[in-house]
């Protein structure tokens, strides 16, 4: 990961981007529900899936420079939802998946409680590139798109809320949600359950 802010650039001809997850999608089985459709283990909502059901071709461990925090209430898990503040002091453990621009738009749509749409304007935004590395799709959860770097010549993108960690009330995540995040940290970074528990305890108490 570069230490400097990324320079916004167009999606390459292959149309692939790194979707960087810092929340439950770090767990592969959770992400699959956004690609193929389905309800994740411990969840209560079924996702329709992406237009392209092919699974990511690669995944990589990522460390983001900003901070993780929990706020709001998840319709899937109950309890607080993970958000990322790129302007706060981190780091945040994350996982990158190599997907197509269309798949990224479909994952984002489902996170925003919308149905994937071939006319989704977010896909055009990805192709044209983000102005100043950011794009606000709306005021709701996960509607701020941020370019957090690049890897192997392809942009690394994540989404979060438009608000930062100091502008919202923090809430406690549910055990089922933390368990899914822990699975993702084990898969992506090789962390033990104890390491994950310490990581979340620092975030929740901080």
Q: Which helix (H) or strand (E) holds 71?
A: strand 67-71
Q: Are 153 and 19 in contact (CB under 8 A)?
A: no
Break the chain into its structural domains and give their ranges. 16-205
| DSSP string for 139-156 | SSTT-EEEEEEEETTEEE
| pLDDT at residue 161 in the model | 87
Contacting residues for 111 by C-beta, under 8 A, at least 6 apart: 34, 141, 142, 159
Measured CA to CA, the distance from residue 83 to residue 142 in angstroms comes to: 8
Tens-digit pLDDT profile for the chain (206 aa)? Answer: 333 333 344 444 448 899 999 999 999 999 999 999 999 988 888 999 999 999 998 999 999 999 999 999 988 888 999 999 999 999 999 999 999 988 998 999 898 888 888 777 666 666 556 656 665 665 556 778 889 999 998 999 999 988 889 989 999 999 999 999 999 999 999 999 999 999 999 999 87
Question: What is the pLDDT at residue 121?
Answer: 63
CA dist 164 and 136 (Å) reads 13
Q: Residue 146: beta bridge partners?
A: 134, 158
| CATH class of the 16-205 domain in this structure | alpha beta
Q: What is the pTM of this model?
A: 0.87
């Amino acid at each position: 990961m570069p230490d400097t802010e990324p320079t916004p650039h167009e999606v390459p001809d292959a149309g692939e981007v790194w979707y960087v997850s810092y929340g439950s999608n770090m767990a592969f089985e959770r992400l699959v529900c956004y690609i193929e459709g389905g309800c994740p283990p411990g969840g209560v909502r079924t996702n329709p899936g992406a237009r392209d059901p092919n699974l990511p071709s690669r995944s990589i461990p990522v460390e983001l420079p900003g901070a993780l925090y929990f706020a709001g209430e998840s319709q899937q898990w109950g309890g607080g939802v993970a958000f990322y503040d790129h302007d706060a002091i981190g780091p945040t453990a994350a996982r990158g998946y190599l997907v197509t621009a269309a798949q990224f738009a479909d994952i984002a749509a489902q996170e925003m409680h919308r149905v994937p749409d071939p006319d989704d304007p977010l896909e055009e935004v990805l192709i044209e590139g983000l102005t100043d590395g950011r794009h606000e799709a709306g005021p709701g959860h996960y509607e701020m798109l941020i370019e957090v770097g690049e890897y192997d010549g392809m942009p690394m993108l994540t989404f979060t809320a438009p608000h930062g960690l100091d502008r919202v009330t923090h809430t406690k995540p549910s055990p089922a949600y933390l368990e899914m995040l822990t699975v993702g940290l084990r898969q992506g970074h090789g962390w033990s359950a104890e390491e994950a528990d310490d990581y979340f305890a620092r975030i929740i108490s901080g």
